[in-house]
Amino acid sequence: MKIWLSIVLLLLALLILGFLPQKKTKNIIINAEYFSVYRYLTVPENWCLWQPELKASATRGTLKNTGDPLSFTIRIPEATLVIKKVWLNNLQVTETRDGKVSVFNYIIAPELKTNYTTIIIVYQQNTWAALYHIFFPDSVREGLIAQLKKHMENVNSFYGFDIQKKITSPDNFIVNKKKISKKEIYRCSNFMLRQLNNFVSVNKLVSISPFLLQYYDAGRDSVQLLIGLQVNKKTAKAGKLEYMNMHGSKVLTVNFNGRYLDRIKVYRAVQRYMTDNFFKTTISPFEEFSNGKLPASDTSIVNMQVIFPYFKN
- Is residue 36 within 8 A of residue 152, CB to CB? The reply is yes
Predicted pLDDT at 66:
61
Tell me how many degrees the CA angle 194-200-201 measures, rounded to the nearest 5.
90
164-312 matches 21-153 in CATH topology = no
Give this prediction's pTM. Answer: 0.75
Contacts of 26 (CB under 8 A, 6+ apart): 120, 121, 142
Of 54, 52, 77, the residue nearest 64 (C-alpha)? 54
Collapse the DSSP code of 71 into the 3-class scheme (helix H, G, I; strand E, B; otherwise coil) and give the result. Answer: strand
Q: Is 197 left (phi over 0), alpha (psi -120 to 50) or beta?
A: alpha
Fold classified for 21-153: Alpha-D-Glucose-1,6-Bisphosphate; Chain A, domain 4 (3.30.530)
8-state DSSP, 238:
-
- Is residue 139 within 8 A of residue 78, CB to CB? The reply is yes
Q: Is 292 left (phi over 0), alpha (psi -120 to 50) or beta?
A: left
pLDDT at 149 over 90: yes
**Boundaries of every domain in the chain:** 21-153, 164-312
What one-letter code names the amino acid at 214?
Q
- Is residue 221 within 8 A of residue 291, CB to CB? The reply is no
C-alpha–C-alpha distance, residues 48 and 71, integer Å:
16
Predicted pLDDT at 214:
92
pLDDT digits (tens, 9 = 90+) for 11-65: 555 555 544 456 778 899 999 989 999 999 998 888 888 888 777 765 556 666 6
pLDDT at 202 over 50: yes
What does the buried/exposed string (b/e) look like for 283-312 if buried means 16 or more CB atoms within 10 Å of the residue's CB? eebbbbbeeeebbeeeeeebebbbbbbbee
Burial of 131 (0-12, 13-18, 19+ CB in 10 A): exposed
Q: CATH homologous superfamily for 164-312?
A: Regulatory factor, effector binding domain (3.20.80.10)
Choose between 195 and 233: higher pLDDT.
195
Predicted pLDDT at 254:
97
- Is residue 43 within 8 A of residue 50, CB to CB? The reply is no
pLDDT digits (tens, 9 = 90+) for 88-131: 899 998 988 888 888 889 999 998 888 899 999 988 765 555 55
